[in-house]
Amino acid sequence: MSGVARDQDVDIDLGQLVRAVWARRLRILTITLVGAGVAFAGAKIMSPQYRTETRILIEPRAPAFASTQQINDASAGPLMDELNIASQVQLLQSADLLKKVINDLKLYNLPEFDDAASGSAMSSILVKLHLKKNPLENPPEERVIDAFVERLQVYQVPGSRVIGINFTSKDPKLAAAIPNAMANVYLSTQSGAKLDSNSEATRWLEPEIEGLRQKVSEAEKKVAEYRTSHGLLQTNGTTTFPAQQLNDISAELTRVRGDKANAEARAQAVRNALSSGEASDTLPDIMSSQAIQRLKGTESGLQSQISDLQTSLLNNHPRLKSLRAQLSDIRTQIRQETQKILASIENESKVADLRASELERQSETVQATSARAGEDEVGLNALEREANAQRQLLETYLVRYREAASRADSNSSPADARIVSRAVEPVDPYFPKVVPIVVVAAVATLIMSAIVIMLAELFSGRALRPTDAASETIEAEAVVEEKHAPQAAPIAAAAGKPVQPSMLAVVADEEDAIEDVRAAEEVPEDEPEDENEFSIASVADYLTGSRAPLAIAISPTGDNGSAATVSLTRMLADAGHRVILIDMTGSGYPTELMAEDQAALGVTDLLCGEAAFGDTIHGDRLSDAHLIPQGQSDVRRAMRGVDRLSLLLDALAAAYDLVLVECGSADVAGVSRLTRSRDVEIILSLPKVEETIFVALMTEFQAAGYERVVLMSGGEGAEQTLGRAAYVKAD
């Protein structure tokens, strides 16, 4: 490879591939024109072929005078099945149908259907070399059928009951005549088959109908005689009087037993509620009592008064004692009313029990009478079944006979298909299509030429480049971004400005008021950041390489450290990472730097339940990063739900590459409340490194179990501080 070491990782240079193709554009264009010319000449040499199509719809067709029942029976037949449609496709390609079409049109006289008789030089050579069977060995009829089948295509149109018949020929008139002739022969064959079937059905049904009429008359006579001799009177035409009476008693007994069981279950539910002391106001019987509902309303009012007075009065206050006594009396009345409801339900159960006993006695009396009638009905049912079977069979035969007789005429039995589209004589050949062939050949030649040139570039190594170039470019962009980051987020000077406590400090002492000491003061001009391994760009590279889902930034010096954290967030966003910053500072300085609206909803509103999760996420006004501002709700009330922040961070970590929490001047105790584990990145943002502060913080966080503590500083003395931190960690 040119310019690439043998053991070096390489990438494909797409720009070089495009430049190589463009440099040889004249050669590619010449080859493309030659390919198009060859395709044009070949298309003109080919003999034109004409294709036409006839379409047949397979559907049940009844005579014009057929009844509605006959039409419905025909519509529900097997012709709607996909397998039957496929069978009709095979029938259209059957040898008998093809032979009839060939004979009707006298195709055996046309040279187009018997090329073997004239022969060709190439065919003769292949036959002599035993590479092809001699077509003259087959009978002339078989050769014509083979040529016919090669030009024929019969298929089912997908998703329909339409069959298409395509035929290809050198003669446009013949191409249109053959599909139409096949459709006509197919329809006449189907109609003749239906006529034969109807004639056979009529001849068979006539003697069968005469015999069934005699059998039906004899069976009905036997039923009438048996019913008269045994006194089996009918009430509604199907059952006897004893059976009807027994059915009525059984239905009433079932209903009474159900009422009894229902009453016992309701009574037991009330008893259980009274004995266990559980709330009985959910039971239907209790809920339907107007007295209990009024008492429950009074009880609820008394409980509400007691709850309101307990906030301002002592438990032994006379007013509270009076209300509790009234509440106890109301509950006693509710229990007494419940007892009355229980007694009423028990009375219902007793009445239902007496009614069931009476019905059981009546049922026993009627059963004895019904048993005798049931024995006589056995013989009657047998006679009736025989008579019904004979009658149904006779009716079926009569219907079939009338249908078959009505379709005996040749014009009364149309085929179960009709032609929906006839073939017409084509004007233009379907093959060859000169323009599409030339276009496809030109495009294919163009693509193949470009592919060959690209492969030559790849194999020569000119289109390959080492991957180190990409990393150098990214590193250069990071350095430029680092130099411009302070311009996007100016860092406030720590000297002379009070440091606001972190929002997390509110949890440790809820009685301390959070004062808003945001003073409008001049921001000093940006100072160039030192090029060292503790710079913002270095920390950004470290976070990118560690793929940390969560990082917590601590700014002991106040807003100038928070401004550096904002610069870190924007640098990561400009590098293509999905990053979000959560403002947990006391001053809200990150919100001032990033938010378009300083009154935007934020983390305090979310913890107080005054904002939805999606409403607290906002975009940075200078980058693609996202921000959750400090919010407008009371910090002390919001920090009571600080334990829910860990769930918030887990949800954000699943949606972003990095979740960065700026805590301001927080301590280890406050940071520990944010996460459930110690597997997080701790960033100490100290633009002006103070050795005493850094060493103390490193020692405090490492003692709490946070091993991954990173310094982010652009000031002097960073190397000395790093050495001191390493010494503390070793101890």
Q: Could you report the per-residue pLDDT of 159-203, keeping only the tens digit for each? A: 899 999 999 998 999 999 999 999 999 998 887 777 767 677 777
CA distance 518 to 500: 9
> pLDDT tens for residues 308-342?
888 887 778 888 888 888 888 887 887 777 778 77
pLDDT of residue 698: 79
3 state DSSP class of 150 = helix
Residue 695: both structure tokens together:
């060493």
- pLDDT > 70? residue 542: yes
> Can you tell me the mean pLDDT for 105-131?
69
Q: Which residue has the tokens 């009985």?
A: 280
Contact 313, 253 (CB under 8 A): no
Residue 150 carries which side chain, given as an amino acid letter? E
CA distance 592 to 586: 12
Closest among 642, 637, 692, 685 to 665, alpha carbons compared: 685
401-408 long-range contacts, CB within 8 A, separation 24+? 401/201, 401/202, 401/205, 401/206, 401/209, 403/66, 403/70, 404/198, 404/199, 404/201, 404/202, 404/205, 405/202, 406/63, 406/65, 406/66, 407/63, 407/194, 407/195, 407/198, 408/195, 408/198, 408/199, 408/202
Q: How far is CA 179 from CA 40, 161, 176, in A?
A: 32, 18, 6
Position with higher pLDDT, 357 vs 491? 357
pLDDT band at 494 (very low <50, low <70, confident <90, very high): very low
> pLDDT tens for residues 46-87?
888 999 999 999 988 766 555 555 555 544 444 567 888 999
- pLDDT > 60? residue 398: yes
Residue 19: both structure tokens together:
């430049």
> Can you tell me the mean pLDDT for 547-559?
85
pLDDT of residue 199: 72
Q: Which residue has the tokens 């378009």?
A: 596
pLDDT of residue 130: 62
For 583-635, the three-class secondary structure string (H helix, E strand, C coil) is ECCCCCHHHHHHCCCCCCCCHHHHHCCCCCCHHHCEECCCCCCEEECCCCCCH
| Helices of type H across 231-289 | 241-276, 284-287
pLDDT of residue 441: 92
Contact 280, 270 (CB under 8 A): yes
For 343-354, the three-class secondary structure string (H helix, E strand, C coil) is HHHHHHHHHHHH
> pLDDT tens for residues 7-56?
445 678 788 888 889 988 999 999 999 999 999 998 888 888 999 999 99
pLDDT of residue 532: 58
pLDDT of residue 579: 93
In this structure, of 147-156, 354-363, 549-558, the range with the lowest mean pLDDT score is 354-363
- pLDDT > 70? residue 491: no
CA distance 558 to 672: 20
Q: Which residue has the tokens 């503590």?
A: 709
Cα–Cα–Cα angle for 263, 264, 266, nearest 5°? 65
Closest among 569, 573, 579, 559 to 663, alpha carbons compared: 559
pLDDT of residue 234: 64
pLDDT band at 725 (very low <50, low <70, confident <90, very high): very low
The domains found in the chain, sorted by start residue, are 10-46+432-460 (no CATH), 536-719 (3.40.50.300)
**Cis omega (within 30 of 0) on the bond before 432?**
yes
CA atoms within 13 A on the CB side of 387: 15
- Residues 6+ positions from 640 with CB-CB distance below 8 Å: 507, 510, 607
Position with higher pLDDT, 343 vs 499? 343
Q: Across-strand partners of 240?
A: 234
Q: Across-strand partners of 163?
A: 56, 156
User: Cα–chain-centroid distance for residue 550?
Assistant: 32
CA distance 146 to 140: 10
Q: For residue 163, which phi and psi values (nearest 5 degrees)?
A: -110, 130
Q: For residue 170, which phi and psi values (nearest 5 degrees)?
A: -75, -20
In this structure, of 104-118, 637-651, 670-684, 708-722, the range with the lowest mean pLDDT score is 708-722
> pLDDT tens for residues 564-602?
899 999 999 998 889 999 998 888 889 999 998 888 899
pLDDT of residue 57: 93
Contact 713, 556 (CB under 8 A): no
